[in-house]
Amino acid sequence: MKIMTCPLNGPRNIQEFQCGGPVKAMPGAQDSDTAWADYVFLDENPRGFVREWWCHLPSSYWFIAERDTATDAILKTYPASELFAPEKTVGGSQ
């Protein structure tokens, strides 16, 4: 069984988690439909390092996980507040 460490709940079976896709910057309201379509529908799917949203389903807790897609190793998990200011709900800082 693969284990992921939830920043809130500790080590848990990977079955308790759901991936929410890569962390990326949200376009602004003035940006084009193309930019929004790219944001909503398209992902880079790179080989190697990725930074993603994950959710621990029993506690509905969303956090950030860094993975290597080549080795499928989970490199690091941490609260989203480490990446985003508490009052800031949009935007990315990759």
Partner 1 sequence: MANSVSPNDFKRRSFVAKRLVEAGARFEEVAGAAAAMAFSDDGAEEKAALEGCGLADLSPLPRFGIKGRGGPEWLAGQGVAIPETVNTALRQEDGSLAARLSPSEILVLGDLRGGERCGALYTSWARARMDDPSAARGYALRRDDSHAWFRLTGANAPEVFAKLCAVDLRPHRFPALSVAQTSVARSSAIVIREDLAADVVGYHLLIDSASARYLWDCLIDAMAEFDGKAVGLRILRQQNAG
- Positions touching partner 1 (CB under 8 A) are 1, 8-9, 12-13, 15-16, 56-59, 61
Q: Minimum CB separation from partner 1 for residue 88, in Å?
A: 14
Phi/psi of residue 82, each to 5°? -75, -20
Q: Considering beta carbons, is residue 15 or 93 the nearer one to partner 1? A: 15
DSSP 29-71: TTS-HHHHHHHHH-----SSEEEEEEEEGGGTEEEEEEEETTT
Q: How far is the CB of 72 from partner 1 (least distance, A)?
A: 20
**Distance between CA atoms of residues 6 and 4, nearest Å:** 6
Least Å distance, CB 86 to partner 1, is 9
